[in-house]
C-alpha cells in the first residue's frame, strides 16, 4: 500500500479517491470544497490545511483538476508542487488538458527529477464510483509500471498510449468520437419519435443492428428508456455539457495545429456550444437530446 495525496475531489475525483481508501492506501486529500474533503475524511482519508501540507511525505500525488490552468498553477505556480516534492515522488495527473500543457508540466517535472505521467480517464462518474475507469497514460514505461498498481484500485482498463502528452491526445480523440456518437444517436431517436416510434423499441432495434454504439447501448439519451443514466434523472450528474465543450475545444485546437480535418468533430463542437448557450451547460452531455427534440408532435 502506498502513501498517496489526491488533489481535486469533484464529481470524478471524489469517487476515485474513495476507491483508493477502499483499496487500503494511506490517503491524504485536498480540495477547496470543505464538504468534498469532509466526505472523504468520513471514509478514512486524512486532510490538510494547504496543498503544500497535503503532499508532505507522499510517495504518489494524483490530481484531477478542471482545466490546464489549474494544473499549471498547482505544479508550476509560485508555490508549485514541483518546487517542493522530492525526486522520488510519482505524479499522476488525471485531468483532461491540452497535450502541450501536459508536455510542459512533464518537462518541468523531469528537470526537477520528478516522475510525471498524464493519465486522463474515460468512463464517467459511474465508472469512477464503480472503480471501472479506463486510464489512458502518457509517460515513460517505467513510470507506467510504477503507476499501474495504484491505478488498479480505480480502473478496469489501463493503457500506455505513449510518451508524455500521448494520454491527452488519445483522450481528446475518444471524447470527440463520443460527442459525435451521442449527437448522432440523439438525432436518430428524435427522427424516429417524430414519426411515431416508441423510443425504447427503436433503441432496441438499433442496439441489435448496425447502429449500435456506446451512447445508445449503455448511456441512452432518451428519458425513461434506460435506468440509472442521467437521461432518466433530468440529465443531472454525469459528464457535463460544459466539460464536453472544453474537450471538443481541445480537439479542435489540436486539429488546427496539426492540419487535421475534423468536419464531424467541428459540427459536434458547434452543436454542444449552441446547447450550452441555451442554458444547458450544467446538464449531462446526453442532454443534447433536448436540442433535437423539444416535445413537438
Beta pairing class for 115-118 and 121-122: unpaired
CB contact at 8 A, 185 and 216: yes
Choosing from 38, 83, 171, 290, which is the catalytic residue?
171
> Which are the contacts of 122, defined by CB distance < 8 A and separation ≥ 6?
133, 134, 136, 171, 174, 175
Please say if 46 is a catalytic residue: no
CB contact at 8 A, 290 and 280: yes
- Closest to 275 (Cα-Cα) out of 263, 284, 266: 284
Rg of the chain, C-alpha, whole Å? 20
Measured between alpha carbons, how far is 188 from 180 in angstroms, rounded to an integer? Answer: 12
Instruction: Name the DSSP letter for residue 280.
Output: I
Phi, psi of 28 (to 5 degrees): -115, 135
228 Rama sector, left if φ>0, alpha if ψ -120 to 50, beta otherwise = left
CB contact at 8 A, 90 and 58: no
Q: What are the helix (H) ranges across 208-240?
A: 214-218
Active site residues: 171
Amino acid at each position: 500500500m502506498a502513501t498517496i495525496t489526491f488533489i481535486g475531489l469533484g464529481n470524478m475525483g471524489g469517487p476515485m479517491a474513495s476507491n483508493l481508501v477502499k483499496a487500503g492506501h494511506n490517503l491524504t486529500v485536498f480540495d477547496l470544497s470543505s464538504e468534498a474533503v469532509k466526505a472523504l475524511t468520513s471514509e478514512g482519508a486524512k486532510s490538510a490545511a494547504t496543498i503544500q501540507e497535503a503532499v508532505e511525505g507522499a510517495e504518489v500525488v494524483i490530481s484531477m483538476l478542471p482545466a490546464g490552468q489549474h494544473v499549471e498553477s498547482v505544479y508550476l505556480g509560485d508555490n508549485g508542487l514541483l518546487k517542493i516534492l522530492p525526486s522520488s515522488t510519482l505524479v499522476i495527473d488525471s485531468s483532461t488538458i491540452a497535450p502541450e500543457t501536459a508536455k510542459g508540466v512533464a518537462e518541468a517535472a523531469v528537470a526537477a527529477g520528478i516522475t510525471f505521467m498524464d493519465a486522463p480517464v474515460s468512463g464517467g462518474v459511474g465508472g469512477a464510483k464503480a472503480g471501472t475507469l479506463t486510464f489512458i497514460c502518457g509517460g515513460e514505461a517505467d513510470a507506467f509500471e510504477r503507476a499501474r498498481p495504484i491505478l488498479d484500485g480505480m480502473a478496469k482498463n489501463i493503457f500506455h498510449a505513449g510518451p508524455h502528452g500521448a494520454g491527452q491526445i488519445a483522450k481528446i480523440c475518444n471524447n470527440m468520437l463520443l460527442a459525435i456518437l451521442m449527437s448522432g444517436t440523439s438525432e436518430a431517436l428524435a427522427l424516429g419519435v417524430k414519426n411515431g416510434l416508441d423510443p425504447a423499441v427503436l433503441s432496441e432495434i438499433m442496439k441489435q443492428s448496425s447502429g449500435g454504439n456506446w451512447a445508445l447501448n449503455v448511456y441512452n439519451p432518451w428519458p425513461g428508456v434506460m435506468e440509472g443514466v442521467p437521461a432518466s434523472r433530468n440529465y443531472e450528474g454525469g459528464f457535463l455539457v460544459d466539460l464536453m465543450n472544453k474537450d471538443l475545444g481541445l480537439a479542435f485546437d489540436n486539429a488546427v495545429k496539426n492540419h487535421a480535418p475534423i468536419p464531424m468533430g467541428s459540427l459536434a463542437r458547434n452543436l454542444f456550444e449552441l446547447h450550452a448557450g441555451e442554458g444547458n451547460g450544467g446538464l449531462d452531455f446526453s442532454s443534447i437530446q433536448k436540442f433535437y427534440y423539444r416535445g413537438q408532435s
